[in-house]
Amino acid sequence: MLNIVILAAGLGKRMQSDLPKVLHTLAGRPMLSHVLDTARQLSPDRIVVVVGHGAERVRAAFAGQSDLEFVLQDPQQGTGHAVQQAVPRLLETPDGRDATLVLYGDVPLVQADTLSRLLGARGAGMAVLTEELADPAGYGRIVRDAAGRVARIVEHKDASERELRINEVNTGILAAPTALLREWLSRIDNRNAQGEYYLTDIIGLSVGDGVPVNAAHPHARWETMGVNSRLQQAQLEREWQAEQARRLLHMGVAIADPARFDLRGSLVCGRDVFIDVGCVFEGRVALADGVRIGPHCVIKDTSVGPGTQVDAFSHLSDAVVADQARIGPYARLRPGADIGSHAHVGNFVEIKKSRLGAGSKANHLSYIGDAQIGERVNIGAGTITCNYDGVNKFGTIIEDDAFIGSDTQLVAPVKVGRGATLGAGTTLTRDAPADQLTLSRPPQKSVPGWVRPLKKS
């Protein structure tokens, strides 16, 4: 049986923000969300989140997640005191074959395989996650005995000169038998430089009780980097983006510059995908074989079919794009846009809640909303579907092989028949019959003898 306790009560003074620290984002999501995702990969029996500053905002941010239990730490008197608040909610088994893992809401990137190794290293006792740092300033030091076993952890402010020279540091993440953790927490005190109850004091109690303390180590330094300031937040953001880019590169995705790449969700790529500089991917994005994404595109919750090219500065959100299509530059696909095979959506074209059929083209300066457009349709420059009367939305239907001239307004609800042609400048208020030319322009006329007005003196 596995309990996971996540400490998320801190104020984060150095963030200079009214937002609780664990709700500040990394890769587009609250830091606490990252920790919870990792925790769930371990299939725990209980997750307890200890909240404090901004407790109601933290609870509200994760409302509806039924596998979470929240407990309040008020006042905040250290990490040991925080875990004490969670103890009444922890599950135990009669045979003692259970463990409690302690994580931190502001250490968002620890990986599930690292935590699995930590739990495995526990053996019959407890385990701490440690690492070697060239500059360990500010971290609690791992003090080992003559045999090299973990003996205790001393906080930086309480360390002697000799202890300050130790480079192995405590990350704060640990796993312990639940019953023993409960008992050790009842014995710690706050006689230290900060007047707080340190969770790390249970290490010395464990050793004193003859319970072995083992150590495990993360694969990468960024896994245990915490966030206490805007600077650290920005630094960790770049570390994580570089790691995500590295993983994609190893999978064969071509990224023009990994330093100018941002993934704020999940990205699934086929073979021979190319991503240019400055692109941002949010939510769930899938790029099929041979997709090319031009520079400075933003793509969110969208799937892009094989061989499609998305040109520079295009924004795609909640859209579906089929194979061999061409999007952009400067195109915007809004939620519900469904772009067919070999279709073209050009510069400054916006499509919302509409289907653009196979081989159809809207290449210039158009708005298409709440429309069903068939195959091989040409949408001329400046075409607008007038789909909103200020209260209600109405649909437009354009059947296969229609030709819509430039500067046309389609006042919905309206239908353009198969093979119909609308002359440039038409304002269509009634259905246009199939295979006919429909015009609504007034006759052109010239006024003889007309003189431009002159400026009065």
Residues with catalytic annotation?
364
CA-CA distance, 365 to 383, in Å (whole number)? 7
Going by C-alpha positions, the residue among 183, 172, 48, 156 that lies closest to residue 118 is 172
- Helix, strand, coil content of the chain in percent (nearest 5): 20, 30, 45
CA-CA distance, 406 to 404, in Å (whole number)? 7
Please name the residues in contact with 354: beta carbons below 8 A apart, sequence gap of 6 or more: 336, 337, 338, 368, 369, 370, 371, 372, 373, 385
CB atoms within 10 A of CB 20: 27
Going by C-alpha positions, the residue among 48, 37, 311, 78 that lies closest to residue 185 is 78
Residue 109, phi then psi, degrees to nearest 5: -110, 10
- Amino acid at site 424: A
DSSP element (H, E) containing 201: helix 201-208
DSSP element (H, E) containing 208: helix 201-208
Please name the residues in contact with 83: beta carbons below 8 A apart, sequence gap of 6 or more: 5, 7, 50, 102, 181, 185, 199
Which residue has 């290293």 as its token pair?
A: 121
